[in-house]
Every structure is written in C-alpha cells, then in structure tokens.
Structure 1
Amino acid sequence: MKRNNPDRLAFDRASVRTYSKDGVLHVSVSPISKAMICPYYGREIPDSEALGLEPNRIYYLLRDPDELKKAAPTFNNLPLLNKHIPISAHDLPKENIVGTTGSEAAFVAPYLNNSLAVWDAAAIGGIESEEENELSSAYHYRADMTPGEYEGEHYDGVMRDLAGNHVSLVPDGRAGPDVVVGDKLPEEMKEMKKKITAKNIARRTALSVYLRPLLAQDAALDKKDLTELVVTHASGKALAAAVAKQFKGKLAQDAELKEDEIEKTTDTAADEADDDEKKPAEDDDEILQTVLSALEGKVNGDVLAKIKAAITGQAQDADPDADPDDGKKKPAEDENDDDKVAKPAMDAAIKTARTQARKEAVKDFNAIRQAEIEVKPLVGDVVAMDSAEDIYRYALEQQEVEIEGVHPSAFRSMVKMQLSAHQAAKPGKGLAMDSKTVIGFATRFPKANKLVRS
C-alpha cells in the first residue's frame, strides 16, 4: 500500500509573500505541518523503552488531525530556525534564529497553517532561490501505541498532546532528541526509498564526462562511487558540494572543480530524463559531439578544452563507464538491470542539452539586465560584468555591506534591503529615533535581574 508522502512542506506561492520597507519577508499563510501517517524508528519515539519498542524497527505514527487542531495555539510565535535545534528559554540558539511564526495558527484539514516572518537576508535568499524553501515543524508529543487505520492506511500509534517547539527551514539539519521530532525522515530511512532511476543514470554519466579530464592519472573514477553520489544527493547543489569534497586532492595539476558547473551539468542531464523513454540510441560519436555542444557556453573554456581532449584524443575514455586502463567495459559485476535504461536516459539528457545552452544564455542575459537596473539607484550604471551575481556583489561592496560567508543566492535580497534603506533615508521618509526614548533594557527595567520564578 502506498504511504502518504512524508516529505517536507513547501512555502506557499509567491502571491502570499510581501516585503517590508526594511526587506523583511512576510508570508501571510503557509502550511507548517500536516495530518498524516509517518514512519519513525523506535529509538526516535519518546519513552520508547517504557513502551517496549524495538530501537531499529520502523513504526508508523499518525499525526492526528484532532490533535493538530488542539495543538494549533502552541505553534504561535515560535522561532524560525535555519536548522533543527531543540530550543528552550535556557538554551536559545540565537545565531540560528532567522524569523518567527505568526499568531494565527489554525488547522485547515489536512494542514496546520500559520503566517511567517523571515528576518535574515541569507534565509530570504535561500527561499527566493528555492534552495531552502521548505518547512519542517518540531514538537513535543506523547506516543499512544494504540494501532488503527486512517484514511484506509494502518498505523501503529498516535501522536498525542502535541506542543510546538520550533519551525525550521530545511534541508539543513534534522530533528534533535527523541522528545522533539522534526517532520523529516531520518537519513537511513531516506536511503531505503531511493532507487537508481534513468535521471540518476543520466546525472552519473554527465558527472563522469565532466570529471574524467580533470582527474590525476592515478585517480580512479569508479562507477559505483558516482552512483552512490547521485543517489544520495538529489539536488544538483548538494551533489556538487559532495563531489567537490570527495575528489579534492585527486585532481590533475592546475585542474579545478567548480560546484556551479557541476550543478548545471548534472541538472541539465536530469531535467527531461524519463524512465519510460525508449527512443533509439544515437551512436557514440554523435552522443559525444552533442554533449560537447551542450556543454559549450555552460562551463569555462579550460574545462571544455580538457573535456574535448579527453573525448577526441583518448578513445578508451569515450565510454564514461569503460575501464581507463584498457578501454573495455568494466566486469559484469558492474552491469545490472539499471544499466538497461542508460541509453534512453542519456538520449533524454541530450535532448534537453540541445536547447538548454540557448535557454541558459537568454536567462543569464535577462538576469544581468535586471541586476543592472536594480542596482542603478545605488551605484549608477554598471558595465562589463559577466553575471548578475557579480553585479549584486559589486553593489554590496560599494555600499560597504559585509558579505563574507554569505551565499551568493542572498545577494539580490541584500541589495533590496539596501534599496529600502536608501529610500527610507530620503528627507521626510526616514525612520526617526528619539535618543531619549531609545534606552537599554536594564534602564527601563532595573529590577528585572532580581525576578525569581515562583
């Protein structure tokens, strides 16, 4: 029986988003949890030993709609974090707080909804770029291990007495101690759900083509390693970071891995790959030439030259899955049913690649023009810059904004904040503060440090 999808909840559409004059993102309504059946290891369930649960057995728990409705007020005014960390008044991870939930939590089947405010520019950038635009609630609960059925599906127990702890932007981090659980699957459980698909084979092939000319002669490029990378890293960004980490120290002299190039190359290969596509395969020469054409303009010239040299100058490397020593296919142990869809998958990837370069060029051109227009009030006309990211970075540097350690996806949001501040600073529209009214907490409440809890 197919289970409800326990994946995280995405932010609502842009129509519910607004920005304050200071650049704060307000989301008028967004789902933060959902009534559904989810799998948990016994060790994740509170009081598991007392309940006699097996640590490594999977139990299906119902997040009951009535319990969510009853608990809705406890999800008001909770901190919004950039990763799952259980919080308390005595242990508040201030550096991880990027916003707050609102005070309108309400259960509208099957979702628990609330408004949100996101204060942090980097977090806003992650939402806008859709790299970190999903939500996961964390909450306390009591496990009632009375089995039953919900919407025709069996469950082993019910989550009772829910009480919100925090809401997190994911995919960063996971749930903390047993009594505070995030609405995400444990990593081990995610692995059980992953399969080799045509898309992953296409991503693996593209990754192999990209990596081979960059590696040192004595560095191995094992198909099994590449398979594990693409299977365990679903997003192009995560895959690129993992590849950069794994192959650091294995590169040829002066070779350089660039995460943005890996991301673009593998995402292009995956975009239109389809498990059911059974089109006739092109011959190897045509495939390789098409790949080269697709990569042109998407990776820098040095990398493209090395890829061309590897393909046209070393016939044994033409097949990404061939053994680099003798040009023959790897032993039969590496061949399995999944490889039967390799050709259709590659065909689908190539089909996409044929038009992707042109689309990317138009997209990049439009992004550059937009960036030039947006930064003009801050720095005037900007010319001779290769990307929108460079333009936003230049504008922020000219405004003396600290951007060290900030992901480039946040630059545009930071520029918007500077524009808001720039507009607010104009005569008659500024935000005034009377120096006599801006006093410290200790001055306003001199006896606060003497308060004792009864």
Structure 2
Amino acid sequence: MLFTDKIALDGTRRTGDGYLVADAKVARTGIQIYHGREVGKPEMDQVRVFRPEAEVFSDKALASFAHRPVTNDHPAEAVGARNWRQHSVGMTGGDIARDGEFVRVPMTVMDQAAIDAVEAGKRELSMGYACDLDFTAGTTPAGEAYDAIQKNIRGNHLAIVAAGRAGPQCRIGDSWAAIPPPMETPMKTLMVDGITVEMSDTAVQVVGKVLQQLNDAKATVDAQDKKITDLTTAVSTKDGEIAVLKKQVEDGKMTPQQIDAAVVARSAVIADAKAITGAEVTADGKTDSDIRRAAVDAKLGDAAKGMDDAAIAGAFKALRASVGDADTDPVRRLSIDGLKQVGDARQQANDAFSKSVTDLNAWRKEG
C-alpha cells in the first residue's frame, strides 16, 4: 500500500547553479491519523496507524529513503524509471540519518518552478512510501491506542506540498498537518415501511430509488392479480352461460311426435306451394316462410312487394284455396292424413302375416 506523509521545509540554501538544497525530516515514529478511505477502510472515519521505531529505523527502511526523486506535489502513481522524467524536480541524497523520532534526508530541488513555489511559501514535505499495513489493534509502549501497524516501510519519492502530516518540525525537514476533524454528514429523515430513519442525503437517494422499485414491482403484481381475478370471474360467467345453454338445448330437443308433426306441416307447405305455382318447389335450405313468399311472389309479382310475413301467410292461404283440392297429390295427401297411412300399411302387413299363419295351422290339423 502506498502512503504519504507531510513535513515542513526549513533551512534551505541556494547553490551557485541556482539549485535549492536542504536537510529534510521526512518520516517519524509514533501514531499518524488517516482517513479510513486512505487506507482501504471507507467504513471508518479515522484510522490510527502506528509506526514502531523498529520499522521506521530499520536498515532497509533508511536505505530506501536515499536517492529518491523529489516531486512537486504527489503524482497519482508511484515514481519509477518509466515516469521519472514526467514527475521529478529534484533528488534526495544518500546520507540518511536518524534524528530523534525522525528520519533526516538531504535533498536538492533542481526545477525552477518548484524552487519558486518553495520560496513563495510552499514549504512542507510529504514522503511517499509503500508499506504493509497490519490491521491488528493494540496499544503503543507509551499507552496510545492504535488500529493498525505499518511494516516493511519503503520510500518511493519526496513531494513538496502545501500541508503535511508528520508535524510542524518537518518543514523541508518533515511537516505533518493534523487531519481535519471528520465533517458531520447532514442527515435527512426518511419513512421506511412506517419507521422513521435518519440517513445521509446519498443514502436517502439510494433507499428512495430502491423503495420506488419495490412500489413499482408491487403495482405490477397487483395489476396481474387483478387481471387473474377478472379472468377467473369471466371464466365462471362463461361456465354459467354454458350451463344455461346446455339446459336450453336439452329443453329444446324435439320429441318424436313433434318431429312427425313438423314433417307433416312442412310437407303441406311444399304441396300447397306446388299447387299454387304449378311447378316443382325447391325447398332445400329454405324456411316455411321462404317457401310461402316464393309462391306468393310467383303469383302476385310486384303486388307482393312490401308484404310482411303475416300478409304473405294470408295471401298464401287465399291462393291455395283458389286452386281447389289436390287430394290426388300423394304429398298433399300425406300432409293432410299425416303419418297415419304409414302406420295403417304396417298394420295391414301384420294382419296379412297373422292370417297366413292361421291358414297354415289349419292345414296341419286337416292332415
């Protein structure tokens, strides 16, 4: 993990070439305060990071502060050979030493714009370095509580900045600006499922969006439920209608007697129409009313136009009466006598069969 630490720059001097040189306190032991987001713990407002002497002043840590590039503000990335030309405005020296609780490093600023910035008041330093961060809480030998420990500290670059983290002693030396107190997040009140909840403005927006999605989903489900209810009701209604229609069909079925009567009545209409027109009658697909109207139209022509069914029936009856009897017509005879003749013929056949049986039995007795 890459860290930065700020220290102030004091005791500078210019060389004959115009460079600015100084001895800088660039690191210190003890506890430094970081925002949680700086150390990968955004859920924490502040993180107390402990740097033990054993880590800060280890041989490898001290050696890593030598011959590091000096930058004007921290770059957004670690400095190396690939981007040194882009970021470097100077260099640290190789005579690294412990100075109390600090690490002192000689430095040279070679870029004129950076030198001008320092002389205009930009006089704090911030050491950029990598380390391992062990989030094991504990207490320092001095009794200070901490949340994490830095281990394997390795310097990367030394930045000239406007404010530092390592304390006022660190001015092109090593300055450490106190971390500002956490800003109070303005809270808003939101009603969630009948419960009043206080939350940040961002949280209100997020929760509000989720609640709206839930409401929309519920509305969709309610609409589907209503549609299902409506369809169920419609099906039940149709079932009732079907039951009624079935009953009507059952009730409307014709008995054999009714069928016989209907056949006789229709045959009579056909026979009467034939008697009126003197021609064969085509009855297929026609009702009795159609047959009567055709016969009346054939006889009366335009005079029949505009007649309703009742008038047609009257005209048909009058025309039939005017042509006389037609008992010789078997169809007419059938329409008058009905199906009785069929029954009479069957009875005659039965009588004849019975008589033959009687005669046969009589012959047997004689023999």
TM-score, L = length of structure 1: 0.34
TM-score, L = length of structure 2: 0.41
Higher relative contact order (CA 8 A, sep 6+): 2
User: Max radius of gyration: which structure?
Assistant: 2
Whose strand fraction is larger, Structure 1's or Structure 2's? 2
